[in-house]
Each structure stands twice: as structure tokens, then as C-alpha cells.
Amino acid sequence: MAQYVADKRDVDFVLHEQLNVEELSKHEKYAEFNKKAVDLIVNEAKNLAVKEIMPTRELGDKEGCKLENGKVTVPESFHKIYDLLKEGEWIAMTEDPEWGGQGMPRTVALAASDYFNGANYPFMMYPGLTHGAGKLVEAFGTEKQKKIFLKKMFSGEWTGTMLLTEPEAGSDVGALTTTATRNPDGTFSIKGNKIFISSGEHNLSENIIHPVLARIEGAPAGTKGISLFLVPKFRVNDDGTLGEFNDVICDRIEEKMGIHGNATCSLILGGKGKCVGTLLGEENKGMKAMFLMMNEARALVGQQGFGCASASYLYALEYARKRVQGKNLLQFMDANAPSVPIIQHPDIRRMLLTMKVYVEGMRSLIYYHGNCSDKADIVSDPNEKAKYNGLVELLTPIVKGYVTDRSYDVCNLGMQIYGGYGYISEYPMEQLVRDCRITMIYEGTNGIQAMDLLARKLGMNKGKPLMDLAGEMQKTIAQAKAIPQLEAFAVQTEKAVNKFGEVAMHMGMTAMSAKVLNAFANACLFLDAAGDVVMSWMLLWRATIAAQGLQDSKKKKDAAYYEGQIKNVDFFNNVILPVAFGKMKALLNTNGAAIEISDASFGG
């Protein structure tokens, strides 16, 4: 166990036993990342997370960020750990070493990030957004833009953000009012207000590079007329040195429920008419370009929520083992019976096992999602490449939406296990609950993720990604059916997969019918059911590997861990999956009450 961050045994299981990540080293691109190298990287990340980053989680929460005269200071303890991330080249783990990256597989980077985000994800937002902004420069920048910005961003010398949201244009980005006016030298004068900008102003780096969505004067209305611009806090000369301040003013940082260590800023661009940006990519193609960063950001948000859940489970498990209160239920009538650790109480065990199955299943899902990206990068067959890219697209709203929903549930259970102490800020649970809650909202609310799954991903490429996902599930089911102790669980998962296929077809048809609003009123339930079925598959997959491990005499020391994997799928399929069947039954009804009720009938 990595102390209150991530379970090392489980991380290793997913990397090496479930996904066989070292297989990627057979390809030239990842030749240097054999098992020894992967273990070295992940252990270094664990040590950095546990020894250096984790101690700053509470400090950052209590100290928070401060705004004075347009300048934001972050918690003092963040400076050292940011320098350590830069020195270790952890900010752009998957990127080309030419630009300051390590060139590692995404699956391996996710394992490192598992530890980092579990240790202090509000801090990790600074490097996380920097990497995402750098990817935009890499994908859409001119050679000059890449030369000036990319290495300094991927190395962490400069940081980055993402400027989308405005006071009247939140989820409806097409309603933005920020303008871009052409200048004779080919640059653009930018003017507008952006809000809720994570890491928008701070003192961790000497420059902050803002990808900004704005509308060039005369461009079409809505998303079709949005362009993307690169707007640095300080202008950058052609030789890479810093020029004058670029009229990007922070006039407010939000007082928030959680993530106090991250500066959530309101920014005024061009308030004095001196904000200049350069076009990033093509005119009026900004929204399409920004989706590259947003999809990465959505997967990152899933991992942020998961980091809270992972830490919450490890804290709760340790607390339940040490907290002595109440008699064992079987000795309740014995006046002389001693009090026992609360882990012996049935309801505590139920909550712990619920936390365990979600945390371990979600870890597998997150890593699998990244592993599909790795495979898409290295396969030569265009059909295989399309398959893996399709799986990434299909699973992204589940990784963001379902994972953050369940992660918040896990954190709430952790607080419940602590009892009254969980509600007190002296203990870690209340911060984890607060920090986790935003992950269900930003980078597209989970309602938007559900709409994305239903409207875009379900019918993408005539439904092939969904069929490919079902095919992968059926492979696991066939393997599990051949193992006597797993056969019943495999049958349960198979029934769920088949039922979900029926539901998906029904929802797709309803979304294209006169009852389209009914379909979208049930979209969140659809996302929830999809996640439950995927979770059943992941847990069955893990149990299949564990059952084989129990037959290996060389793995006796892992017997308890493997037995736990089999109990995971036993619990999930017999306690949680039946509820998923209820959800799917409700989806086939596609109830329209939420649409049919009049506004006045809501009361108030």
C-alpha cells in the first residue's frame, strides 16, 4: 500500500497482469519501456507522491491562493514540488523528448499520475493544464509557435491554461463574446472576459500561456465562428525572451467549496486595449481544435475524481482496522466481550467492499482507456487503429462521467466510515469530499457527458465502437466461463452486456424519434447503466486473472489479493449489478414525466 495515495499492488496488477504493458516495448516507439523500466518509473512516481506531494495536500487546502494587485500567490509548499516535477520531467511524460517529454506510453504515465493525483490533485492541475495547452501548440501550432512555446511548456518552465468559459457562455460555448480584431502584422487584438479559469494566474512560473477561444470580427455566430488564439501573460519575442505584459488581468479568484490550492480566476483580456494573440490553427476551427485538449482534460478529470476515491478508500481501510468501537455482533449479548476494530462490523465491511470494487474497477477502466490510445499509436492496420480510437472516444464520457460520480460516492462512504470524525477538518475525509465534488461539474458536466454518449458516441461510425466494446467484453466472458468458480459471474455479466445492447438500440432509436426529449431526460441514467456494465466486465476480467494466479504455486504470497478480486466480482454482480438491470428496465420505459410536467407544476 502506498500510504493514502494508491495501492501499489493494485497498480502493478493492472499494469502487468491485466494489461501486460510491457508488450508495448515490442514496438519501436516504446522499445525502452520494458518491465524493469516501467517499474522504475512507477516507483519513482510513488516515492515522489508519498514523500513530497502528499504532505502538501492539507497545507494547500488550508493556505489556499491569494490575490493582491492582480497577482496570485499559490501555497508556499507548492513551489518545491513543482520544481521537483520539472526536474524529473514529469509534466510531459508521454511527449517527444525533443520537446522536453519522456516519450513513455500513456498507460505508464497514467500509473504515475495515479500516485500524483491521489497525493494532491488541486496542485496537479497546474502541470496537467500546462500539458494540455502544450498539446494544442504541438497539434495546431506553426513551426514558429512550436519553437517559441512548446519546449518551455512541456518542460514546465512556462505553464498553460484553457480559456473557454464566460459569464454568459458556460456550457454553451458558442455564445461567447470575446472578440479578436486583426492587426496589420498578422496578430490579433483580443478583448473579453473569461471566468472559472483554473490556474489562470499564479506565481509558479514566469509566464502563463493561454489558449483562448474568441470570435474574429465578422465571423459566423455560434460555434462555427469560433477561432483559437495563443495569448501569453507576457508577450514573447522571436528569440524566446519575455517582452511586455500582455494586458491579461486577474480581477478575482473564486472562494470555492474545495480545490483551494488551485487558483480559479476571472480574467480580463484587453481591458486597456493591449492584449495581443496569435491564431492557433485555422480561422473558425477553434472549437474543433479545443476538443483535442478538452478530451484529454475530461480523461484527466476522471483521474482527479478517482485520485480522491483511491485516497479515501485507503484512509478508510486503515481507520477501520485501527478504530476500536462496539462489540462483535456475534458477542453483542456478552457483557464481558471486548470492543473490536470497526472493520469487524458487517455494515462497515459492506461500505469498505463497495469502495474497493469501485476503486479497483475504475483503476482498470482508466488504465484500459489509456492503453487503447497506446495501441492506436503503434498498430499499423488501419482497421485496428480505428477500433482502438473508437474505443477511446466511446469510453471518454464514461471515464469522465461515471468515474467521477462513483468517486464522489466512494468519498462519501469514506466519510461515513469515519463517522463524526469524517465531518471534521482535522481528518482528511471532508477535504477529499470537497475536492472531489467539482470533478462532476467542470470540463463538461456529467449531464453533458451523458448527452455526448447518447447523441454522438452511441451512433459513431454506425455503432461500430459499441460493437467492438461488446466484442472485447465477450472475450473476457468466454475465458471466465471456462473457470468453474467464475462461470456464474460470467453468465451474469453476459446477461448485462446483452441487455445493455438492447437498451442502447432503444435509446438510439428514441433519440431520433418524436420522443427525443424523453431520451435525453434519461441520458444520465443511460450513462450510469453503461458504466455499471463496463465495471462488471472490468471486475470479471480481473477475477479471471486472479483465478489463474491462485493456481500458480509461485504466487502463493498473493493469494489474499487474488481472492479479493474474486470477491469483488461476486459482490458487484450480486449486489450492484441487479440494480443496473433495474436502471435498464427504466430506460426501456424512457419515462417522459420530466418533460411533460409544466414549469408551474414544479412549485416554488
Asked whether residue 206 falls in the same domain as residue 111, the answer is no
Asked if the structure places residue 313 within a domain, the reply is no
Find the catalytic residue in 17, 166, 443, 494.
443
> Does residue 342 surpass a pLDDT of 60?
yes
Asked whether residue 98 falls in the same domain as residue 210, the answer is no
> What DSSP character marks residue 61?
H
Q: Around 4, how many Cα atoms within 13 Å sit in the side-chain half-sphere?
A: 20
> Does residue 171 surpass a pLDDT of 80?
no
Cα–Cα distance between 559 and 550 in angstroms, integer?
6
Asked whether residue 55 falls in the same domain as residue 114, the answer is yes
Asked whether residue 454 falls in the same domain as residue 591, the answer is yes
Asked if the structure places residue 1 within a domain, the reply is no
Average pLDDT over residues 216-220: 93
> Does residue 1 surpass a pLDDT of 60?
no
Residue 173: what pLDDT? 73
Nearest to 165 by CA among 195, 205, 208, 131: 195
Asked if the structure places residue 358 within a domain, the reply is no
Distances, alpha carbon 208 to alpha carbons 65, 100, 319, 504, 516, in Å: 17, 17, 41, 44, 43
> Using an 8 Å Cβ cutoff, are 397 and 369 in contact?
no
Average pLDDT over residues 254-278: 97
What values do phi and psi take at 252, rounded to 5? Answer: -165, 140
Asked whether residue 17 falls in the same domain as residue 128, the answer is yes
Cα–Cα distance between 99 and 83 in angstroms, integer?
18
For β-strands 226-232 and 276-279, DSSP reports them as antiparallel
Residue 2: what pLDDT? 59
Asked whether residue 255 falls in the same domain as residue 134, the answer is no
Asked whether residue 27 falls in the same domain as residue 71, the answer is yes
Structural domain for 181, as ranges: 159-284
Distances, alpha carbon 150 to alpha carbons 99, 141, 155, 194, 352, in Å: 6, 9, 8, 24, 44
Is this prediction's pTM over 0.85? yes
Average pLDDT over residues 48-54: 97
* pLDDT tens-digit map of 358-391: 999 999 999 999 999 999 999 999 999 999 999 9
Nearest to 110 by CA among 57, 38, 50: 38
> Does residue 150 surpass a pLDDT of 80?
yes
When pLDDT is cut at 50, 70 and 90, the band that residue 553 belongs to is: confident
Residue 118: what pLDDT? 97
When pLDDT is cut at 50, 70 and 90, the band that residue 167 belongs to is: confident
Share of the chain above pLDDT 90, in %: 92
When pLDDT is cut at 50, 70 and 90, the band that residue 280 belongs to is: very high
What values do phi and psi take at 49, rounded to 5? Answer: -65, -50
Cα–Cα distance between 395 and 458 in angstroms, integer?
10
Asked if the structure places residue 433 within a domain, the reply is no
Residue 29: what pLDDT? 94
Asked whether residue 23 falls in the same domain as residue 149, the answer is yes
Asked if the structure places residue 394 within a domain, the reply is no
Asked if the structure places residue 110 within a domain, the reply is yes
What CATH number did the domain enclosing 150 receive?
1.10.540.10
Distances, alpha carbon 512 to alpha carbons 454, 517, 519, 524, in Å: 11, 10, 9, 17
CB contact set of 25 (below 8 Å; sequence gap of 6+): 31, 32, 33, 34, 37
Cα-based angle 266, 200, 181 (whole degrees, multiple of 5): 75
Q: Which amino acid is at 164?
A: L
**Relative orientation angle of helices 106-140 and 35-48, to the nearest 10 degrees:** 80
Asked whether residue 190 falls in the same domain as residue 135, the answer is no
Region for 17 from its dihedrals, namely left if φ exceeds 0, alpha if ψ lies in -120 to 50, beta otherwise: alpha
Greater model confidence, 604 or 201:
201
Rounded-to-10 torsion of CA 358, 364, 368, 374: 130
Look at residues 102, 129, 154 and tell me which one is the last residue of a structural domain.
Answer: 154
When pLDDT is cut at 50, 70 and 90, the band that residue 170 belongs to is: low
DSSP 185-212: TS-EEEEEEEEEEET-S-SSSS-EEEEE
For residue 443, indicate whether it is catalytic. yes
What CATH number did the domain enclosing 185 receive?
2.40.110.20
CB atoms within 10 A of CB 124: 25
Asked whether residue 478 falls in the same domain as residue 516, the answer is yes
For β-strands 276-279 and 208-216, DSSP reports them as unpaired
Asked if the structure places residue 347 within a domain, the reply is no
> Using an 8 Å Cβ cutoff, are 182 and 221 in contact?
no
Asked whether residue 132 falls in the same domain as residue 256, the answer is no
Cα–Cα distance between 455 and 473 in angstroms, integer?
23
Asked whether residue 147 falls in the same domain as residue 27, the answer is yes
CB contact set of 226 (below 8 Å; sequence gap of 6+): 173, 174, 176, 213, 214, 215, 219, 284, 286, 287
Share of the chain above pLDDT 70, in %: 99
> Using an 8 Å Cβ cutoff, are 386 and 337 in contact?
no
Q: Around 397, how many Cα atoms within 13 Å sit in the side-chain half-sphere?
A: 24
Cα–Cα distance between 125 and 117 in angstroms, integer?
9
The total domain count for the chain is 3
* pLDDT tens-digit map of 454-493: 999 999 999 999 999 999 999 999 999 999 999 999 999 9
Place of cell 477561444: 213
Asked if the structure places residue 291 within a domain, the reply is no
Average pLDDT over residues 293-321: 94
Look at residues 284, 299, 332 and tell me which one is the last residue of a structural domain.
Answer: 284
Greater model confidence, 170 or 410:
410
Q: Around 595, how many Cα atoms within 13 Å sit in the side-chain half-sphere?
A: 13
Look at residues 134, 154, 174 and tell me which one is the last residue of a structural domain.
Answer: 154
* pLDDT tens-digit map of 55-100: 999 999 999 999 999 999 999 999 999 999 999 999 999 998 888 8
Mean pLDDT of the chain: 96
* pLDDT tens-digit map of 524-546: 999 999 999 999 999 999 999 99
CB atoms within 10 A of CB 218: 8
